[in-house]
Structure formats: C-alpha cells, structure tokens
Structure 1
Amino acid sequence: MKLYDTTKALAVSPGKAAEILGCGRTRIYHLLHLGELISYRDGAARRVLTSSIHDYVQRQIEAQAHCPQWSSTTKATEARKSKRDLKGT
C-alpha cells in the first residue's frame, strides 16, 4: 500500500482522504457532515482540504491526551479485581 503524500496537496478526493485516515469513504462523508472535515465542490468532484485532515487528527490526539490510556491487560486486571471483590462480599 502506497502512502499518499499530503504535504504537497491542498485538497484530495474523499477516497484519498479515507486512505490517509485509514478509514472508509462513508466515515469521511460522516466527518464532513459533522463539520470535522472541510470540503468543497470542484465541478462534479468533491475535494477535502488536507489542512482539515491534519487539524482533525490533531484534535483527536489532544482529546485523547486527557483520557486515561488503559491497556487491555490493565482492563482485564481491573475486571478480575472487581469480580474478586464482589465474591468476597
């Protein structure tokens, strides 16, 4: 799979935007509908601004920085502790 160079392109098709974000085109159109990504029409073609893709990723990183990062091992350990605590009562 060839990665798309977004450093030079100002806008890309929804398909390329999906490739860049590693999701499907339906997700891209959903993000456009929510206003998370910015696009415009060029004739019959829709173009997604690459700057809005970068901004979206940055917002996601910042939002997740405030959330505790639990690994699956930590989750499993917590679940076992809770189960054990319930048995002891």
Structure 2
Amino acid sequence: MERQLLTAEEVAEVLHIGRTRVYELIYAGQLQSIKIGRLRRVPVSAVEEFIRQMVGEAA
C-alpha cells in the first residue's frame, strides 16, 4: 500500500521548503492537514492540490 499521509518534514522535502514554512501553510489554511492525537499529517492529495493551486496562480 502506498503512503497516504506525510509528516511536515516529508512535505518540506517534497516542496523544497523548510518545515516551519510547512506549518505556516497549514495554519494559514493553504495546505490541508489532519491531526491524529498529537501528530499532524498531510495527505498526499493535499500536497498535490497545493502544487496545482500554486501553478494555477503563477499562470
């Protein structure tokens, strides 16, 4: 089974940004995430949607 949820660190690697910036995007509502207990995870689909939005804004 493919991974469906990523940590903030993994999202940062994918987007080539810092972990702190990932949390800023989450708290600003620009990047969807879920909480599992005390852990915050980002669905792979949310990362893909974020990228689509950024490309759309750049166009």
Question: TM-score band, normalised by the shorter chain?
Answer: 0.7 to 0.9
The TM-score, its normalising length taken from structure 1, stands at 0.61
More strand, by proportion: 2
- In structure 2, what is the equivalent of residue 17 of structure 1? 11
Aligned-residue RMSD, C-alpha = 1.0
Q: Give the alignment partner of residue 57 of structure 1, picking from 48, 51, 58.
A: 51
The TM-score, its normalising length taken from structure 2, stands at 0.87
- The one-character-per-residue Cα deviations of 1:68-88 (angstroms, maximum 9, x if unpaired) are xxxxxxxxxxxxxxxxxxxxx
Query: Looking at CA atoms only, which structure, 1 or 2, has the larger radius of gyration?
Result: 1
Aligned-pair identity (%): 31
Q: Matched residue pairs, number?
A: 58
Question: For 2:29 and 2:7, how far apart are their aligned partners in 1?
Answer: 16
Q: Which has the higher contact order (CA 8 A, sep 6+)?
A: 2
The answer for unaligned runs of 5 or more in structure 2 is none
Runs of 4+ in 1 over 3 A off after TM superposition: none
